[in-house]
Amino acid sequence: MTAEDVVFSFKNYNGGNAEFLKNRIEKLEAVNPYLFRLAFKGPFPDFFNYLLPGGSTIAWVVPKKYIEKVGEAGFKRHPVGCGPYKFVEFMPGVRMVGEAFEEYWRKVPNIKRIEVYFVQETSARFAKIKTGEVDIASSLHGVLVDQVKKDPKLTLAGR
């Protein structure tokens, strides 16, 4: 991952809140191969919230040279990143699968395979966590949170 990849990724970001975020940026540049500078037009104390997992996908840095070589469609078929997992499979709207990258520059993850399921319906997400079909479910609200709290087999995190 290089500073050029970060700049490229920010400039080409088109996910949720893209225009809102881009309109707040005054200057974005690669200072050297491993340092980038980002300046805002004014105070933006909430910016780091957008970098947190689940906040947005703006922090997803993609390799500029690879995308220029294979194109957006090629990247979607076989994405490449710099994290501890390598791409295995992506079924839009259904699931994404990754396996531990044994040559990761930091500690190789203990969890060897991750499957992320995209489940829109909140009650369906709750049912999957309740039955043990999945290990983690996000964005549970209201009465479902109360049900999680009452179940000794489940743990509520992030509240």
**What are the residue boundaries of the structural domains of the chain, listed by start?**
1-65, 119-150
pLDDT-based confidence at residue 154 (cuts at 50, 70, 90): very high
Q: Name the band, by pLDDT with cuts 50, 70 and 90, for residue 159.
A: low
Element (H, E) at 87: strand 85-91
Q: How far is CA 106 from CA 9, 34, 73, in A?
A: 23, 17, 30
For 150-158, what is the mean pLDDT?
A: 91
Confidence at residue 121, expressed as pLDDT on a 0 to 100 scale: 93
Report DSSP state, residue 91: E
Q: CA separation (Å) from 92 to 61, 77, 96, 118?
A: 20, 10, 8, 9
Q: 31: pLDDT confidence band, cut at 50, 70 and 90?
A: very high
Residue 54 has pLDDT above 70, yes or no: no
Count of CB atoms situated within 10 Å of the CB of 125 = 20
Please tell me the predicted confidence (pLDDT) of residue 78: 87
> Which among 58, 64, 3 has a CA at the least distance from the CA of 28?
3
Structure tokens at 115: 């499957």
DSSP secondary structure of 2-49: -HHHHHHHHHH--STTHHHHHTTEEEEEEEETTEEEEEESS--TTHHH
* pLDDT tens, position by position, 117-129: 999 999 999 999 9
Q: State the pTM of this model.
A: 0.66
